[in-house]
Amino acid sequence: MYSLDTVPTYVSLAFLATTLLTIWLFFRATNHAKPTLIILFSWSIVQSLIALSGLYLDTSAIPPRILLSLLPVFILIALLFNTKKGKEFIDSLSLEKLTLLHIIRVPVEIVLYWLFLSKAIPELMTFTGRNFDILAGITAPITYYFVFVKKTMNHKILLAWNIICLLLLINIVINAILASPVPFQQFAFEQPNIAILYFPYNLLPSVVVPLVLFSHLVAIRKLLK
């Protein structure tokens, strides 16, 4: 049985604060749409209770329970992009505020590094390994400033930035999945990615990553239009 006993309390508190910040920034991008906030908090609570119950600790299940829990999220994203009301919601989102949302990738990467030091994830999931996602967080406020404030960078550059940062996200997601203690694990056997099996870190794949992914997809759709 895996354990997170070596992870300091401040790491969990920092990650919870980062999750709340992600939700708040997305809420701002919706122009303070309360139904969205209710849905996000409700989903976060449900995911937290499931993780606290220990359900995700069964890593032998096929498909893995932690990954199966993401199915409703991706179904919702697909519906939003393929229904009239969904497209109306997407078109109402603020491109400027969606760009700023990506600053949360900096504290996420710091938390991941702390988790590595606590032997809860492999080094390849950090910025000292194969994870370059921190670059998206560092460049987010710079991109926002020059595109929306100074207006010296055009939307083609913003589109390219979104595509590159989306690829950075996909890279770490694939590595994180293949480093997890699941039947199809490919590497990091000496120190698998166990953090996502526990609260609050299960909120990374179930809440934070989907919001970051959705923000990129929305931005790309808007910019291509």
Summarize pLDDT for 171-188 with one digit per residue, the tens.
999 999 999 998 888 998
Residue 142 has pLDDT above 60, yes or no: yes
Is residue 132 a part of any domain in this protein?
A: yes
**Which residue, 208, 198, 216, 170, is CA-closest to 21?**
208
Q: Return the pLDDT at 160.
A: 97
Distance CA 163, CA 219 (A): 9
pLDDT reported for residue 1: 56
For residue 4, being part of any structural domain is answered with no
| pLDDT in the model for residue 68 | 78
In a domain, 204, yes or no: yes
The total of structural domains in the chain comes to 1
Cβ atoms of residues 216 and 161 within 8 Å: no
Q: How confident is the model at residue 51 (pLDDT cuts 50, 70, 90)?
A: very high
Question: 196: which DSSP letter?
Answer: G
Whether residue 94 lies inside any domain: the answer is yes
The total number of residues written for the chain in this structure: 225
Answer yes or no: are the C-beta atoms of 59 and 182 closer than 8 Å: yes
Average pLDDT over residues 125-141: 97
- Per-residue pLDDT, averaged over 76-90, amounts to 96
Rounded mean pLDDT, 82-105 = 97
Domain membership of residue 108 (yes or no) is yes
Strands (E), the chain: none
Alpha-carbon span 120 to 6, nearest angstrom: 8
For residue 195, which of 123, 115, 111 has the smallest C-alpha distance?
Answer: 115
Residue 31 domain-assigned (yes or no)? yes
Domain residue limits at 153: 9-224
